[in-house]
Amino acid sequence: MQPTGEAHLGNYLGAIRQWVELQEAPDAPEAFYSIVDYHALSIAMTADQLRAWTFDMAATFLACGLDPKRVVLFRQSDVPEHTELAWILATSAAMGDLSRMTQFKEKSEQNRDNVNAGIFIYPVLQAADILLYKADRVPVGEDQVQHLELARELARRFNRRVGFDVFPEPQPLLSKVTRLKGLDGSAKMSKSKGNTVALSDAPDAIRAKIKVAVTDPARLRRYDPGHPEVCNVFTLHGSFTAPLNAARYAEIDRDCRSGALGCVDCKKELADRVVEHLTPIRERLEALRAKPDELEAVLADGGKRAGEVARATMEDVRARIGVRPSR
């Protein structure tokens, strides 16, 4: 995840909560989670901002429940093999493939005054992030499947090039949560658009943001029948109400459709559930933000563990492409 500001509801539901669930599974896999500060450089920011946001992202991961003793949590720039492998993979990446990346088009639109080469080759570095650890599964949302397919293709091209299966082809582990719309009804939640809830938001701020969230556009009056399948507020109930009380979630669906439950009351109930869920996370986050030395120790240890795996991979890669003597 990029350290480009505070983590928000979309980050949490789309990725972080799934990572924690994977960690807690009886057959929990060996997992690597990276704060990708090199990726973040494609967005204009100061050195102080990048350092602060990197620490904040580490604090967020820990506050949400990731355990650095059970997963490898590290800072991308602590493992220089990421950028080395990215260059090697870039020599097999086709310009046409990169130009067709949906996120390149989106980021170019959002940053018209800074459409840099980093945004263009971003998916190659992302492929290196994955292949360096020979990952067989990658937790992703639907919007990242295209990037993962490129990583699979680059793995195939490298393996054909050297005549040996160095890299497995990683499979997607799709998020259980569909791509969340912004609270303003726009296509996605975004920190830059201010249409989401930050994990550090106080209860009053959460309630205020959800109060003005866009609901079913066809429901003009309190007793009009609703269509929860098109309502983003109902989608969020699926993440916060359904896991606690499936019966209540079904009632919200039924009462919305009949007109018995109005949008105002529906949003109030959602706000209660979100506040209840995020309050302990916010409290842990506030405590961790005050301990930068502890956060640095966690990242340094994770970087050391990730580096051991990365160095072994690159020894093999270098030998097979001829930039080091074959062993």
Catalytically active residues, by annotation? 107, 188, 191
DSSP 11-43: HIIIIIHHHHHHHHSTTPPP-EEEE-HHHHTTS
Task: Report yes or no: 135 and 167 within 8 Å, Cβ to Cβ.
Answer: no
- Radius of gyration (Cα) for the chain, nearest Å? 22
Neighbouring-strand partners of residue 75: 35
Which candidate, 267, 293, 201, places its Cα nearest to that of 7? 201
Count of beta carbons in the 10 Å neighbourhood of residue 179: 14
The tokens 């295209």 sit on which residue? 146
- Beta pairing partners, 74: 34
Query: How many whole angstroms separate alpha carbon 160 and alpha carbon 82?
Result: 21
